[in-house]
């Protein structure tokens, strides 16, 4: 279980980094705002990735049992 969560966090970090680099917004005036934006995006991506991953695993196990 721990390994799965670490993999999800690693995937979310890579997606967030790529998305943040590709973002075309004007540069924020403070460094704190940049970190806050990155952390919030990372949180959203990791939650969405977890929901998708565990949802697919739950559906797969449910179909196997049925």
What's the confidence (pLDDT) of residue 8?
Answer: 92
Cβ-based neighbours of 11, under 8 Å, separated by 6 or more: 49
Query: Cα–Cα distance between 37 and 45 in angstroms, integer?
Result: 12
| Burial of residue 31 (number of CB atoms within 10 Å: 0-12, 13-18, 19+) | exposed
Query: Which pLDDT score is estimated for 66?
Result: 72
pLDDT of the residue at 58:
94
Rounded Cα–Cα distance for residues 26 and 30 (Å):
12
> How many residues are present in the chain?
66
Question: What integer is the mean pLDDT of 11-16?
Answer: 94
Check residue 52 and give its pLDDT.
94
CB 12 within 8 A of CB 46: yes
State the pLDDT at residue 53. 93
pLDDT tens for each residue of 20-63: 888 877 776 788 988 898 999 999 999 999 999 999 999 999 99
């Amino acid at each position: 279980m721990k390994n799965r969560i670490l993999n999800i966090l690693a995937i979310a970090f890579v997606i967030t980094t790529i998305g943040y680099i590709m973002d075309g917004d004007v540069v924020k005036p403070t460094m704190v705002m940049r970190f806050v934006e990155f952390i919030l995006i990372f949180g959203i991506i990791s939650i969405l990735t977890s929901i998708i991953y565990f949802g697919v695993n739950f559906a797969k196990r449910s179909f196997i049992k049925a």
